Chains A and B, each alone.
Chain A
Amino acid sequence: MEKEIFIHDSSIPDYDDLEWDTMSQTKREELALQQAKTAALFSKMHVPFYRDHFKQISEKEIESFKSLEEFALKLPETTKEHLTITHPSKFLPDLKISTEYINKGTGGSTGKPVSIFYSVYDWEAMAQNIARSIKFDFRDDLPKLKGLKICGLYHGDHVTNGIYRKGLHKLGISLYGRPSTKKRADHVYDFIQDVQPNGILAPPEDMLKKTTKGITMDKVLVLDAKNESAEAYRFNNDKNKEFCMVLWSSLPLSKDLYSYLKDHLKIPYIQGQYGSTECAPTGATCSHKPFSFHLGYGPNVVNVVLPSKKGLAKNGQEGYLLVTKTAGVVDDQKIVPTGTNLINFRTGDFAIVENYGKKCGCGRTTPIISDLKRREAVEIKAEFGCEID
């Protein structure tokens, strides 16, 4: 390894450090810029795709970026198409690092499937990110989380399942993944009745397509609603106080469904993650903004670019999302990204920026992306969300 190139600033907090959520935006952007530049320089030198993709831009130029805006606008974007037409190995660093890889892919129903490799280090970083998003909300009462049981309704191989398993474990929460043999919603509902968990982790159905494929949160909630048995383990918090948490990701939660969970079932804690197979979790909802996402920072940097490409979107402005994966293994104060490298990756999603430079009612000072529109890759995302069986 060429250790001298990648000097990691030890001032960067761990990915599960709540400081990410409370520091000033100026400081956060300084750190994020530092991380992004490190990742870009690493990729340019060690990742075949970026060696070619960034050949018009010098290392010196990358090092000279003074802001995330410069980083987002001056460095070429990586698109879904790049991922589709390039062999997956070209996004992996050519360093000889011994690590375990986890391979995840998009469904491929809209084209050639995309194969993404996560190293165990990436996986750990994302798990820390998930853990932090929940830890922040329970920061004054962390012991409350210890010993909780969550039933995961994603199949064992789904990216969400794996990351949450690790992330929740960090908080003392056990994830009971559904057995792979249970492929019908009613069987999974029986599994929930057996476990009697404190919550579920499940994908909502596609609001627009009302997709009925796979085992969704909607289906399990309907089965719960229809169970009139006096012995039923009910999700309604009035009936079972211990059922207190609903976690979701993959697709947006509709306002009606949120209201059902919050106002009708009276579930105290509902949290969703925004992410993708390519970049994993990048934002989390809070109780004040249940349909918007606080950007997570840490293992990735999200920039929202104005469609005119004349700058980054600020409060109230809409833009498209560029994600840079910054996680890697920290070894001897050096950060070495080891999985599929993505720099300025255009997810295809659009969002409005809010809370920039402000403090949310939940206590986070991170910007929020709201009114998320999965415009360019809506089909892919919809399929992704439903690719759960």
Chain B
Amino acid sequence: MELLNYIDGEFRKGIKVQTNIDVLNRKTGPKLKVHFASHWDIVSAIEGISRVQSEIAKIDEKIIHDVLHRAMKYYLVKKSDYTLLAEMTGSPVRFTEAAINETKEWVMKSEEFSKAVFGHKLEAHHNSVPSIGILPSNSEQEALYVIVQSLLAKSAMIIRPSSRGAAGYSSLEFVHAWNRAVDEIASEHIFLKKIISVINISDMNQNWGLLSIDNWNYVCFGSDATIHEIKKEIYTHAQPRKIIAYGSGLSMTAVDESNETDLNDLAYTILESVSINRGNECVSTDILYVHKSLYDKFNKILLKTRDQFKSLSVNDKRTIGLTQETNCDYILNAIAQKGKLEYIDFEEKGFGNNKRKVIHTSIVPLTEHEASMEYPGPIVSMRSYSDQEHLFKLMRTDLLQNNKRKSLVCSLYSSKEFFNSSLASISAYKIKHNRPTHLMDLFLPHQGIYLMRQLSDIIVLERG
């Protein structure tokens, strides 16, 4: 499969090609050949997007909604698409399919979503400026999530997928679907085929000067360190309009003594949150706090239940997915340094003729003074707390140790009173009561923001 660059309405081959093999490193497995853009390809993409911005600004929003809806008829519809993406990323096929379909359903309700974001009667919005989206390697959902909101905000966009290929595949599949929809129902607005460019860039460090543009928007994903670097680079060269960064989540779950949910059911739900899509989602639970009165009992249940959350082949219906090998090495190394390797359930496993390390869902107990961290895999750190104030203190310390101001999602399994009395003291973008961290509602703000709103200029109205 060739992943070309899509620039100013045309597919272009690259100056250099990198062949990515699947997550199992199978010689006979799927391959994605990524064509890297040249310097002038990147300039072409920037020029094309700059030029088309003024045109998208004038278009009726309804046309964008209609074309988006039609495009969903053609976007990643084949079973083979899900399998390919899963094999490239290590995500379970069933998760991939579900995540994509959930996102497509959200797109089909784009008008409703727009209304939720922009519907305030004292506000109007108009187009903003072009944007550059820097997509992560570990997901297949973000491409659609970002592109759609950019289009709805009337911001022409350059997508730079990760060179791993899956995000590039998703982005280019969107381009195909979108173009087909434009041909079918908006052929009089042919410029719509130029409002997205997808460019593969092999070395961002050499291109920040080019890609950093005054007054443009940036959407990026990554670990806090990655985002820090991206921001530093962009601000070195330009004054962007906005950098919208989706960092890692450090999502937390607390089980209080006031919890009324059956502990067996709860253990299953929390381990689902821990291991969702290899445990590499920003909404997967990274730290679990358990009241000391329940700690030992709940730990036993968790250890018994975790056998149902194994890292198996991506096609296996029971799998949590396969953590990429580099991430496995990173996790095992980090855990070994903490002297906690005994808590990690990992093994060398054969897939066909290949052997590789796999990490199954694991629970790492921490004492009060041991530092927690967010691992790019199905690992949860577990702490015991004595009372509500102690819980808040532990949460604050964990955020501090991870250089975070807020947790992405915090789920509290507790009584209503405990939940209500905690709200003022927990720093999180989203706090859930008796619901797992990993269930995402695309209609709600993510990491505290609506991307589409961030990409738009909001005007406050005062009517006479």
Residues of A near any B CB (own CB < 8 A): 221-222, 224-230, 232, 234, 236, 238-239, 256-257, 259-260, 264-265
Kindly list chain A residues whose C-beta atoms are within 8 Å of the C-beta of B130: 228
Kindly list chain B residues whose C-beta atoms are within 8 Å of the C-beta of A225: 43-44, 46-47, 50
Query: Contact: A226 with B44, CB < 8 Å?
Result: no
Chain A min CB distance to B41 (Å):
8
Residue of B nearest to A221 (CB): B43
Query: Contact: B53 with A256, CB < 8 Å?
Result: no
With A and B bound together, what is the CA distance between A234 and B54 in angstroms? 12
Query: Contact: B129 with A264, CB < 8 Å?
Result: no
Query: Contact: B53 with A264, CB < 8 Å?
Result: no
Main secondary structure of the interface of B (DSSP, over half): helix
Kindly list chain B residues whose C-beta atoms are within 8 Å of the C-beta of A224: 47
Residue of A nearest to B214 (CB): A226
Residue of A nearest to B211 (CB): A226
Kindly list chain A residues whose C-beta atoms are within 8 Å of the C-beta of B129: 228
Chain A min CB distance to B54 (Å):
3
- Which residue, of B15, B51, B53, has the highest number of chain A Cβ atoms within 10 A? B51
With A and B bound together, what is the CA distance between A183 and B208 in angstroms? 23
Chain A min CB distance to B115 (Å):
27
Interface residue from B47, B49, B50, B57 paired with A264 (Cβ < 8 Å): B47
Kindly list chain A residues whose C-beta atoms are within 8 Å of the C-beta of B39: 256
With A and B bound together, what is the CA distance between A227 and B48 in angstroms? 10
Query: Contact: A228 with B40, CB < 8 Å?
Result: no
Query: Contact: B54 with A260, CB < 8 Å?
Result: no
Kindly list chain A residues whose C-beta atoms are within 8 Å of the C-beta of B281: none
* B400 CB-CB contact with A under 8 Å: no
Query: Contact: B50 with A256, CB < 8 Å?
Result: no
Kindly list chain A residues whose C-beta atoms are within 8 Å of the C-beta of B46: 222, 225-226
Kindly list chain B residues whose C-beta atoms are within 8 Å of the C-beta of A256: 15, 38-40
Chain B min CB distance to A4 (Å):
58
Given contacts A260-B44, A264-B44, contact A227 B50 (CB under 8 A): yes
Kindly list chain A residues whose C-beta atoms are within 8 Å of the C-beta of B48: 264
* B169 CB-CB contact with A under 8 Å: no
Kindly list chain B residues whose C-beta atoms are within 8 Å of the C-beta of A257: 40
Kindly list chain B residues whose C-beta atoms are within 8 Å of the C-beta of A239: 51
* B75 CB-CB contact with A under 8 Å: no
Chain B min CB distance to A7 (Å):
53
With A and B bound together, what is the CA distance between A234 and B57 in angstroms? 18
* B8 CB-CB contact with A under 8 Å: yes
Kindly list chain B residues whose C-beta atoms are within 8 Å of the C-beta of A229: 54
- Which residue, of B8, B40, B49, B215, has the highest number of chain A Cβ atoms within 10 A? B40
With A and B bound together, what is the CA distance between A236 and B44 in angstroms? 10
Residue of B nearest to A257 (CB): B40
Interface residue from A230, A236, A259 paired with B47 (Cβ < 8 Å): A236
Query: Contact: B43 with A222, CB < 8 Å?
Result: yes
* B210 CB-CB contact with A under 8 Å: yes
Residues of B near any A CB (own CB < 8 A): 8, 15, 38-40, 43-44, 46-51, 53-54, 57, 129-130, 210, 213-216
Q: Beyond the given A222-B43, A264-B8, could you list 12 further A-B residue pairs with CB under 8 A, ordered by the A residue number?
A: A222-B210, A225-B50, A228-B50, A228-B130, A228-B216, A229-B54, A236-B51, A238-B51, A256-B38, A259-B40, A260-B43, A265-B47
Kindly list chain A residues whose C-beta atoms are within 8 Å of the C-beta of B8: 264
Kindly list chain B residues whose C-beta atoms are within 8 Å of the C-beta of A222: 43, 46, 210
Q: Give 30 CB contacts A-B under 8 Å.
A: A222-B43, A222-B46, A222-B210, A224-B47, A225-B44, A225-B46, A225-B47, A225-B50, A226-B46, A226-B50, A226-B213, A227-B50, A228-B51, A228-B130, A228-B215, A228-B216, A230-B54, A230-B57, A232-B50, A234-B51, A236-B51, A238-B51, A239-B51, A256-B38, A257-B40, A260-B43, A260-B44, A264-B8, A264-B44, A264-B47
Residue of A nearest to B53 (CB): A228
With A and B bound together, what is the CA distance between A232 and B40 in angstroms? 20
- Which residue, of B39, B47, B53, has the highest number of chain A Cβ atoms within 10 A? B47
Residue of B nearest to A239 (CB): B51
Residue of B nearest to A265 (CB): B47
With A and B bound together, what is the CA distance between A226 and B215 in angstroms? 10
Chain B min CB distance to A233 (Å):
12
Residue of B nearest to A226 (CB): B213
Query: Contact: B53 with A260, CB < 8 Å?
Result: no
3 closest A-B pairs by beta carbon, nearest first, are A230-B54, A225-B47, A228-B50
Interface residue from B40, B50, B216 paired with A260 (Cβ < 8 Å): B40
With A and B bound together, what is the CA distance between A202 and B130 in angstroms? 28
With A and B bound together, what is the CA distance between A225 and B213 in angstroms? 10
- Which residue, of A225, A228, A234, has the highest number of chain B Cβ atoms within 10 A? A228
Residue of B nearest to A261 (CB): B40
Kindly list chain A residues whose C-beta atoms are within 8 Å of the C-beta of B57: 230
- Which residue, of A224, A225, A257, has the highest number of chain B Cβ atoms within 10 A? A225
Query: Contact: B54 with A228, CB < 8 Å?
Result: yes
Residue of A nearest to B38 (CB): A256
Kindly list chain B residues whose C-beta atoms are within 8 Å of the C-beta of A230: 53-54, 57
Kindly list chain A residues whose C-beta atoms are within 8 Å of the C-beta of B215: 228
Kindly list chain A residues whose C-beta atoms are within 8 Å of the C-beta of B216: 226, 228
Residue of B nearest to A230 (CB): B54
Chain B min CB distance to A249 (Å):
20
Kindly list chain A residues whose C-beta atoms are within 8 Å of the C-beta of B213: 226
With A and B bound together, what is the CA distance between A224 and B57 in angstroms? 19
With A and B bound together, what is the CA distance between A63 and B213 in angstroms? 64
Kindly list chain A residues whose C-beta atoms are within 8 Å of the C-beta of B40: 256-257, 259-260, 264
Residue of B nearest to A236 (CB): B51
Residue of A nearest to B206 (CB): A210
With A and B bound together, what is the CA distance between A271 and B216 in angstroms? 33
With A and B bound together, what is the CA distance between A353 and B311 in angstroms? 65
With A and B bound together, what is the CA distance between A226 and B15 in angstroms? 22
With A and B bound together, what is the CA distance between A230 and B51 in angstroms? 8
Kindly list chain A residues whose C-beta atoms are within 8 Å of the C-beta of B210: 222
Chain B min CB distance to A229 (Å):
8
Kindly list chain A residues whose C-beta atoms are within 8 Å of the C-beta of B54: 228-230
With A and B bound together, what is the CA distance between A225 and B49 in angstroms? 9
Kindly list chain B residues whose C-beta atoms are within 8 Å of the C-beta of A259: 40
Chain B min CB distance to A258 (Å):
9
Kindly list chain B residues whose C-beta atoms are within 8 Å of the C-beta of A221: 43
With A and B bound together, what is the CA distance between A222 and B238 in angstroms? 13
With A and B bound together, what is the CA distance between A259 and B53 in angstroms? 23
Chain A min CB distance to B352 (Å):
42
With A and B bound together, what is the CA distance between A264 and B50 in angstroms? 13
With A and B bound together, what is the CA distance between A385 and B44 in angstroms? 25
Residue of B nearest to A234 (CB): B51
With A and B bound together, what is the CA distance between A222 and B8 in angstroms? 16
Residue of B nearest to A254 (CB): B40
